[in-house]
Amino acid sequence: MKLKKTILAFSLLLIISCQKEDELSPLTPQEGTLIQNTNCTEKVNKQTSTDLADATFDINKQKPITLPVYFHILYSGKTPTVTAKDIELQMTELNKCFSGKATGAAKLANVRFENVRSKDTKIRFILEGIRFKKTNSNVWSGLKIFKKYSDAKNESEGGSRPYSPEKTINVWVLEGMILDKTYNPNDKAFTLGKSSSPFDAENLDYDGILLSNLGLPNAQEKTRTFINPFTNEKKTISARLGRALPHEVGHYLGLDHLLGPLDIPCGDDDIEDTPPAQKLHSGKPLLPFTEKCDGKANFQMFMNMMDYTDDEIRYMFTKGQVNEMWKLCFYGTDAKRKKMIE
Ligand SMILES: [Zn+2]
C-alpha cells in the first residue's frame, strides 16, 4: 500500500507538470500497479509539424520535440526493486543528457571536442507511464535470466506487452544484468541495456529498450556489483548517474557505437565529426588519450554518450550524431519514427 501511495503522489505531479487535468486511467485491470499520464506529448509536439516540412534541415531552427517514455518494471520478489522515484530521477538524467547539460561536461568539454559537441539535441522526453508487473514465471526467477528477450514484451511469457509502441519509447526494466548475445552467442558478456533501432520501428512487438535495474540512477551507491551466472565471476560496475538509458535511446534513435554497428576495431559509425575509435572504452580514461587506427594516432572521444566509459565520464553527443538522429527518425519523408511526434 505504501508503494501505491508513492505512485499516486508521483502521478499527480506529472499531471501538474503537463497542465492536464485528465484522470489517471489504467490500461487494463491487469496484475500489477499502473500509472499513466495521458496525452501530454501530443500537446507539446503540435508546434513542430510545420518546421519539419522545411526543405533543408538545420538543428538550430528546430523547436524541441518531446517523446513519451513508458516504463515496464518487471520484478520477481515481493516488491519491486525499482520505485517511481528512481524512474523520476532517470527521466531527469535522460533530459539532461539530451539537452547538453549532463554533468562532466565542465571538466572535459573544452579540451578537444568542444567544437563538435552538441549544445542541445532538441529532443526531450516525458514520462508517459509506469507499469509494475510481478512475474511468476520461473524464467524470471533466480538470476533473472530469461529464455529470450522478446519474452519481456510478451504477456503470456510473464512479460509486459508494449504500450502504444508507434508513439512511445517502451523501456522494460529487468532485474540484474542483461546477457549480450547480439554478435557472439558464445560470449557470456553482460550489458546494462539493449535497444532496437529505427529500422525496427515497423516491428512493433520488438521495438523498444531493455534496461537493467542496475543501470538506473542511484545517488547513494558509487558502484554496484553483480555475479556473472556463467562464470561466477564478481563484477563491479559504475552506473550511478543513469547514463545507460541515454546511451540506449541513442541506439533507439539510430546511433551506433563510434566504431560502427558491428563493433569492429577502427570501424566507422558514418558520422563525420566522430573520430575513428579503436575499441569501446571502459572506466575513466585520462586525457590526452590516443589510439591508433590505420597507423595513425587519433584522439579518442571516450566522453561520447555512445561509448562504454563510466557514467561520470560520458556526457556528450556530437552535432553530427544529432543530425543523424533527427534525419533518420523525424525529418524528411522517410523518417522512421515520425509517428511519435505527429
Ligand atoms: Zn551500445
pLDDT tens for 90-102 read 999 999 999 999 9
* Confidence class for position 176, pLDDT limits 50, 70, 90: confident
CA 57, chain centre distance (Å): 25
Confirm if 211 and 70 have CB atoms less than 8 A apart.
no
Who has greater pLDDT, 59 or 204? 59
Per-residue model confidence (pLDDT) at position 30? 37
CA of 141 to the centre of ligand 1 (A): 26
Q: What is the mean pLDDT of residues 15-34?
A: 35
CA of 239 to the centre of ligand 1 (A): 14
CA of 94 to the centre of ligand 1 (A): 15
- Give CA angle at 243 (196, 276), nearest 5°: 70
Confirm if 110 and 204 have CB atoms less than 8 A apart.
no
CA of 70 to the centre of ligand 1 (A): 20
CA of 251 to the centre of ligand 1 (A): 7
pLDDT tens by residue, 194-252? 899 998 887 777 789 989 888 999 766 767 777 766 667 777 777 689 999 999 999 99
CA of 183 to the centre of ligand 1 (A): 12
Task: Give, in words, the CATH class of 21-341.
Answer: alpha beta
Mean pLDDT of the chain: 77
Is the pLDDT reported for residue 187 higher than 60? no
CA of 60 to the centre of ligand 1 (A): 27
Who has greater pLDDT, 327 or 143? 327
CA of 255 to the centre of ligand 1 (A): 9
Per-residue model confidence (pLDDT) at position 175? 80
CA of 83 to the centre of ligand 1 (A): 25
CA of 248 to the centre of ligand 1 (A): 6
Return the H-helix or E-strand segment holding 7.
helix 2-18
Between the CA of residue 17 and those of 7, 170, 327, 342, what are the distances in Å?
15, 21, 29, 21
Return the H-helix or E-strand segment holding 301.
none
Is the pLDDT reported for residue 307 higher than 60? yes
Is the pLDDT reported for residue 147 higher than 90? no
CA of 245 to the centre of ligand 1 (A): 10
Rounded Cα distance between 18 and 3, Å, is 23
* Residue 297 phi, psi (nearest 5): -80, 130
Per-residue model confidence (pLDDT) at position 209? 93
Who has greater pLDDT, 283 or 126? 126
- Can you read off the three cell numbers belonging to residue 276? 575513428
CA of 135 to the centre of ligand 1 (A): 27
Enter the DSSP assignment of 269.
-
CA of 342 to the centre of ligand 1 (A): 28
CA of 44 to the centre of ligand 1 (A): 29
